[in-house]
């Protein structure tokens, strides 16, 4: 079976401002039709990397191909194949929802039906409202609608569900899964780890401009971080036992004649694995800095919060 082609290919991507490296040797691929989540704390370099892929920001070094084109030289036809949902937009909001979507749909050869798009993002009945009169969450839905109305081959979603209530988030997830089923390739950034776990085929974890791990949900992190935990309470207090065979631990408890309370088997979530990755790397970097006479603690602290 032939492997899907790479829609995005990034090799040793770098972006620096003076002596400060914001993106530092980033390498990854995104295959056609997959959803790839780029995760990391605030200031990790995610938005900078994505803006380079979108062609909005120049790079300091490395090679980038998006839909077969270097984003720094992408023209109008190339941009028409992209859908982009930024964290923030400069929209003034002095037009109605329908006017804005109608206008944007005319920029594309095969746009989606505007009513279909409004329904998909939960804006039914809002077509005649001025965008500036919408709530924050509703305006965010307009951003998403503008990103998908052109039926893009590659969709960039930068924190797309910020401001959504739980029901709206679930509806949005259903929309993304439908787009994926249609063959849309998606690059997602989100601080909601359950969202990344639900939507993504693969994830990459970015920290201080470097990719510290990538793979499927079952691949990232070390093996220990993915070992289930058996938790219970008895007369001796609370117990947490990691075990590759949690069922055997539970069986042994029952056979021992103890009366465990609050018994549960917890399988580590993506959030657990992600936090372990970031914490372990922070600890490793701190230890390296402590043994490196040339390391600048102030610089490391600045990078950690960038």
Cα(123)–Cα(236) distance, rounded to whole angstroms? 55
pLDDT confidence of residue 170: 87
- pLDDT tens-digit map of 57-74: 999 999 999 999 999 999
Burial class (CB in 10 A: 0-12, 13-18, 19+), 134: middle
Closest-CA residue to 227 (of 264, 267, 194, 197): 267
pLDDT band with cut points at 50, 70 and 90 for residue 261: confident
Report whether pLDDT(217) > 60: yes
| Token pair recorded at residue 220 | 């990232």
Closest-CA residue to 35 (of 177, 169, 130): 177
- pLDDT tens-digit map of 179-211: 999 899 999 999 899 999 999 999 999 999 999
Order the strands of the 237-242 sheet from edge to edge: 237-242, 229-234, 261-266
pLDDT confidence of residue 48: 93
| Token pair recorded at residue 27 | 């390498």
Cα(173)–Cα(77) distance, rounded to whole angstroms? 29
- The model carries a pTM of 0.81
Superfamily assignment of 6-215 in CATH? P-loop containing nucleotide triphosphate hydrolases (3.40.50.300)
């Amino acid at each position: 079976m032939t492997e899907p082609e790479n829609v995005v290919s990034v090799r040793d991507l770098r972006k620096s401002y003076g002596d400060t490296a914001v993106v530092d040797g980033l390498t990854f691929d995104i295959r056609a039709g997959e959803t790839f989540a780029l995760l990391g704390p605030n200031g990790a370099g995610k938005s900078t990397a994505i803006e380079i892929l979108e062609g909005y920001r120049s790079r300091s070094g490395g090679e980038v191909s998006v839909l077969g084109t270097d984003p720094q030289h992408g023209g109008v036809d190339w941009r028409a194949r992209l859908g982009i949902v930024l964290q923030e937009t400069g929209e003034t909001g002095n037009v109605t929802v329908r006017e804005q979507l109608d206008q944007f749909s005319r920029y594309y050869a095969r746009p989606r039906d505007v009513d279909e798009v409004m329904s998909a993002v939960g804006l039914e009945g809002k077509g005649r409202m001025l965008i500036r009169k919408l709530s924050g969450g509703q305006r965010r839905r307009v951003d998403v609608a503008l990103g998908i109305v052109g039926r893009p081959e590659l969709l960039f979603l930068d924190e797309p569900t910020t401001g959504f209530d739980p029901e709206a988030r679930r509806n949005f997830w259903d929309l993304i899964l439908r787009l994926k089923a249609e063959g849309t390739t998606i690059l997602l950034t989100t601080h909601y780890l359950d969202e990344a776990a639900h939507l993504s085929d693969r994830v990459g974890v970015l920290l201080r401009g470097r990719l510290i791990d990538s793979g499927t949900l079952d691949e990232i992190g070390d093996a220990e971080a993915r070992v289930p935990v058996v938790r219970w309470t008895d007369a001796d207090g609370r117990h947490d036992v990691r075990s590759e065979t949690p069922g055997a631990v539970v069986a042994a408890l029952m056979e021992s004649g103890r009366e465990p309370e609050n018994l549960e088997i917890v399988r580590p979530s993506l959030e657990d694995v992600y936090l372990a990755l970031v914490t372990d790397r922070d600890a490793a970097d701190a230890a390296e800095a402590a043994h490196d006479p040339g390391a600048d603690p102030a610089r490391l602290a600045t990078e950690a919060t960038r």
